[in-house]
Each structure stands twice: as C-alpha cells, then as structure tokens.
Structure 1
Amino acid sequence: MAALAREELALHKLHTAEHYVSKAGLRETTDQIMEAISGVKAAVDNMTLRVDRIVENQAKLRTTRS
C-alpha cells in the first residue's frame, strides 16, 4: 500500500512538473514579455514621431509653394 502511494505521488509530481509553471517562472516569463512589449511601444512611438515630422514638412512645403 505504501509503495503504491509513493509511486502515485511520484507520478503526480512528474505530471505537475511537466504541465504547470512555478510562480517564479511565470514572473520571469511575464517580465520578459513586458520588456518586449515596452520595446515595441518605444519603436512605435519613434515611428509616430517620424511620421509626424514628415507630415509637418509636407504641410510646410505646400504653404510655401502657394
């Protein structure tokens, strides 16, 4: 009976280790994802500024030509 309980517990521990993540592992993965999202946000913000400058320059060219 005890041997069966040990075997079932070992199988359960293996299943848990294979299918679930620890809080620390989840936190680390979440931090990495948030860093990546911040990088994408910075790139989008930079691109927005560049597009704004292009549009402003085109507007200036139109007003000087008129």
Structure 2
Amino acid sequence: MVAPTPPPSRLSPEQRERLEQLADAGRLRAALYQVPKPSPPARRRSRGARQYPGGRPKPWHIARPRSRG
C-alpha cells in the first residue's frame, strides 16, 4: 500500500478536515466493497466448416441453390 502524502499547506483547516473525511470514506468503501473478479471473456464460434451434431462435416451436395419464381 502506498503511504499517504501530506496535503498541501495552502488548504484552510476546513478544507483539510473535509479532505481527511473524504479519504477516510474512500478507504472504508474500499474495505467494505471488494472489487469483483472480472468475468471470463465470451467464447467465440470457430470459423470452420459447420458440422452436424455427431461431428461429421456437412456434405456439400445437399446445399442446392433455390429457384426463384
């Protein structure tokens, strides 16, 4: 953990107190609410040939052009 740096001396006592309150609130929030683990990346489909569920490659002679009319 990084050691806190002292605030600049040009702050008024009220500003310094407010800054300390904000820093305390930030540390408390970080302690109470842990950062969630990132989800694994989405799996992409391979760009290979489409296959039947059994793993056999799709035969080319089945795909026939449609007749328009």
Report which of the two structures shows the higher radius of gyration computed on alpha carbons.
2
Same fold by TM-score greater than 0.5: no
